[in-house]
Chains A and B, each alone.
Chain A
Amino acid sequence: MAYLLQTNQLTKTIDGKDLVKDVNIHVEKGTIYGFLGPNGAGKTTVMKMITNLWKPTGGSVEIFGERLTPTSIDILKRMGNIIEFPIFYEHLSGLENLRIHCEYMGYYNPGSIEHTLEILSLTDAAAKPVKSYSLGMKQRLGIARAILCRPELLILDEPTNGLDPAGMKHLRDLFRKLCTEYGITIILSSHILSEVESIADTIGIIHRGTMKDEIAMKEIAEQNTEYIALTVGNTKKAAYVLAEKQNLHHFKIMDENNIRIYDSGITTQTLSKTLALNEVEIRAVSQKSESLEDYFLKLTEEAVK
C-alpha cells in the first residue's frame, strides 16, 4: 500500500544517545494518525525529523512519495505544523502573524485568514498583540496558522495543550472535519490517551524511543478483550477459590485487591455466589473490556519490564 507518509528505521542519535531508534510509521492518506507515548518518549523528535528541522542519523522519511533529503524544500509547502508549542512574533497581532505566514508560504487567497480566524473563534482577538493571548488562544492561533494554507498534511505536536475541555472538543471536531471534508491527513501526538482514542483512525505507540505498535483503532476495538474486574479483600484466597472451586485458570492478579478474569463462560452472578460461599470478601464485581488505555499500558509496562 502506498502511504502519504512513512518512515523506515528512523533513528536519531545525539551525543551517543539514541533519542529514537528504528521507528517505522505508516500514515494513510486522509486519515488521522495518533502518535501516542509518554512524555520524553520521542514523539517530538520524530516530528522534527518529518518536518526536516532535524536530520535523521539513520533511516529515512518518505512524504508524498518522495524521500525527504536535508534540502527538501517544496514538500514543506504542502505541510502545516505545530512542533513543541506554537511560536509567534509576540509583538505582532494574530492577524499580522497570519499575514506574514501567508507571505512566506506564498499563499494568496483573499478572505482565507478571516475565515480561518472565525473557525478558531479568534476573530475578536485578531487585532491584539499575541503577547496578550492566553495559552489556549495561542494554541488555537497556532492551529489556525497550520491549517491556513490548506496543507495536505498536518503535523500537530500536542495540539490541545492548554485548552479547556470545550476547546478540546471543538478542535477534535475540527480535525475530523478537516480530515473528512477536505481530505487532509493529520498526524497528532499526545500523551493523553482519551484524546487520541476519540479521534484517531490509527495509532502508533512509542516508548523510550522505539515503536511499540502501530494499529488501527478498529482493530483495537475488535481485539478488545472482555474481562471481569473483581475487587476482593484477599486476592490469594480468591485466586485459590477461582482455580480450585470454579476451575478458572485464565485470570491475572493486578494488585493486592484486584483480579481480572479473562475466562469466558462465567457470569458475574456465578462468580459472586462462589466467592461468597467460600467466604471471600467481595468489594466489587463488574464486566469490563480493555480500552486503549489498557492496551497502551500493557505495551509500555512490558517495555519497562
Chain B
Amino acid sequence: MLKLVKLEWKKNNITKYTRCALITSLAMLLFILLTAKELEAQETVEMYGENMLIAGVDLFNNIAFIIFTCVMLSAFSVSPYQNKTIYLMFSYPIKRRKIMAAQILAVWSFNFLSLVLSKLFSYCVLLLTKTATAGSIPLGHYEFYLNILIGSAAIVSISFLSLFVGLRLKSSKAAIVTGVIIACFTQGNIGSYTLSHNLPFYCSLLLLSFAAVFLSVYSVETKDVL
C-alpha cells in the first residue's frame, strides 16, 4: 500500500503540492499576524472569550486545508475519470479498491501532516514574534498537541465528503465547490452562532464522510469504467 501511495504522489507531482501547501501555510500565518491584535483586543475577548488567537490559527488553517484537501482529491481521484487515466489504472493487476484506497490515503496523509505542521508552525511564529504570550499557547501540555492531532484528522476526514460528490458528478469543480461549502458550514459563523465547536455536528459529518468514502469505493470493482 505504501508503494501505491508513493506512486500516487509521484504521478501527481507531490512537489508541486508541497510548495502550494507551504505557500498556503505562510499566507494563513500572515493573515493571523495581521489580525492578531484584533483577536486579542479587549472587546473580542469580552465578546468571544479568551483563546481567540488559537481559534484564529485553527480557523484560517482549517479553512485553507479543507479546500486544499478537496483540490487534491479532485486531482488524485476525480480527474482520472475525466482525463481517462483511470482506464490505465484499472488495467493494472491491482484491485481497484486498493488503487482508490491508495489515492485516498495519499491525499489524507499529506493534508493531515500539512495541517498539523502548519498549525504548529503558526503557533511557534506567534510565540517567537511575541504576538502571543507563552500562557495563551500551552506548548508544554500534551492535550494541546492531542487537540491539534484530533482536530486536524477530523477536518481532513470531513473534507472527503467532496470525494463522493466529485465522483458522482465526475466533476473536479463540484468537488472543490463542495469543499468551500464544507468550510463555510464547519468554520463559519452567523453573529456569535457557529458550528465549529459543535461536537455532535462534527461527529455526524465524520460519519457522513466515512459513508461517502465507503460508497465511492464499495462498488468500484464491479462497475463499468465510464
Question: Contacts A71-B222, A89-B11 given: A104-B87 contact, CB under 8 Å?
Answer: no
Contact B91 A100 (CB under 8 A): no
Partner of B221, one of A48, A71, A88: A71
A70 neighbours in B (Cβ, 8 Å):
221-222
A73 touching B95 by the CB < 8 A rule?
A: yes
Q: Among the listed A73, A75, A87, A100, which residue makes an inter-chain contact with B94, where contact means beta carbons less than 8 Å apart? A: A73
Do A54 and B225 touch across chains, with their CB atoms under 8 A apart?
A: yes
Residues of B within 8 A of A55 (CB): 222-224
Which residues 34-78 in A have Cβ within 8 Å of B in the complex?
Answer: 48, 51-55, 70-71, 73-77
Smallest Cβ distance from B95 to chain A, in angstroms?
Answer: 6
Decide if A100 touches B85 in the complex (CB within 8 Å). no
**A100-B221 Cα distance, complex, nearest whole Å:** 22
The secondary-structure label for the interface of chain B is: loop
A83 close to chain B: CB less than 8 A: yes
Decide: B7 and A104 in contact? CB cutoff 8 A: yes
- Contact, CB under 8 Å: A53 / B87: yes
B80's nearest neighbour on chain A, judged by CB, is: A87
Residue of B nearest to A90 (CB): B83
Q: Does A297 contact B (CB under 8 A)?
A: no
Query: Within 8 Å CB of B224, what residues of A?
Result: 48, 53-55
| A81 and B94 in contact, given A55-B224, A89-B11, A103-B3 (Cβ under 8 angstroms) | no
Interfacial chain A residues near B87, Cβ < 8 Å: 53, 83-84, 87
Task: Give A232 Cβ to nearest chain B Cβ, in Å.
Answer: 52
In the complex, are the beta carbons of A87 and B221 less than 8 A apart?
no
The reply to whether the CB of A92 lies closer than 8 angstroms to some CB of chain B is: yes
Chain A contacts for B193, CB-based, 8 A: none
A245 CB-CB contact with B under 8 Å: no
Which residue of A81, A84, A87, A106 is within 8 Å of B85 (Cβ)? Answer: A87
Q: Does B47 reach chain A (CB closer than 8 Å)?
A: no
> Are B90 and A103 closer than 8 Å at their CB atoms?
no
Inter-chain CA distance A83–B91, complex, in Å, is 10
A247 to B91, CA, bound (A): 61
The listed residue (B7, B84, B92, B93) touching A87 by CB distance below 8 A is B84
- Whether B10 is near chain A, meaning CB under 8 Å from some CB there, is yes
Q: Give B190-207 interface residues, CB cut-off 8 Å to A.
A: none
Count residues on chain B whose CB falls below 8 Å from chain A CBs.
22
Residues of B contacting A106 in the complex (Cβ-Cβ under 8 angstroms)? 93
- In the bound complex, CA of A51 to CA of B91 (Å): 7
Residue with the highest number of chain A CB atoms closer than 10 Å, among B92, B95, B222: B92
A100 touches B11 (CB 8 A): yes
Residue interface mask A104-118, B partner, CB < 8 A = 1: 111000000000000
Q: A91 at interface (Cβ–Cβ under 8 A)?
A: yes
Residues of B within 8 A of A104 (CB): 7, 89, 92, 94
- Min Cβ gap A101→B in Å is 8
Quick one: closest A residue to B6, CB to CB?
A103
Docked pose: A87 CA to B221 CA in angstroms: 21
| A105/B222 in contact, CB under 8 A | no
Enumerate chain B residues within 8 angstroms of A103, measured Cβ to Cβ.
3, 7
Min CB distance A149 to B, Å, is: 10
Check if A76 sits within 8 Å of B93, measured CB to CB: yes
CA distance A53 to B225 in the complex (A): 6
Whether the pair A76, B84 counts as a contact (CB closer than 8 A) is: no
CA distance A210 to B111 in the complex (A): 50
Instruction: Say which residue of B91, B93, B95, B222 sits within 8 Å of A53 (CB atoms).
Output: B91
Which single residue of chain A is at the shortest CB-CB distance from B11? A89
State whether A100 touches B7 (Cβ < 8 A). Answer: yes
Interface centre among B223, B224, B225 (most CB of A within 10 A): B224
Cα(A88)–Cα(B89), bound, Å:
10
Q: A55-B224, A100-B7 are in contact. Are A74 and B88 (CB under 8 A)?
A: no
B147 part of interface (Cβ distance < 8 Å): no
B13 within 8 A of A: yes
Contacts of B84 in A (CB 8 A): 84, 87
- A72 smallest CB distance to B (angstroms): 9
B138 shortest CB reach to chain A, Å: 44
Is the beta-carbon distance between A89 and B7 smaller than 8 angstroms? no
Q: What residue in chain B is nearest A70 (Cβ atoms)?
A: B222
Q: Which residues does chain A contribute within 8 Å of B13, judged by CB atoms?
A: 91
In the complex, chain B residues whose CB is within 8 Å of the CB of A71: 95, 221-222
Closest 4 CB pairs of A and B: A77-B93, A76-B93, A104-B92, A70-B222
Residues on B close to A: CB < 8 A? 3, 7, 10-11, 13, 83-85, 87-95, 221-225
Identify 17 residue pairs between A and B in the complex whose beta-carbon atoms are under 8 Å apart, listed by A's number.
A51-B91, A54-B224, A54-B225, A71-B95, A71-B221, A73-B93, A73-B94, A74-B93, A79-B91, A83-B87, A87-B83, A87-B84, A88-B85, A91-B13, A92-B11, A100-B11, A104-B94
- Known contacts A53-B87, A104-B7; 9 additional CB pairs below 8 A are A52-B91, A53-B91, A53-B225, A74-B93, A76-B91, A91-B13, A100-B10, A100-B11, A103-B7
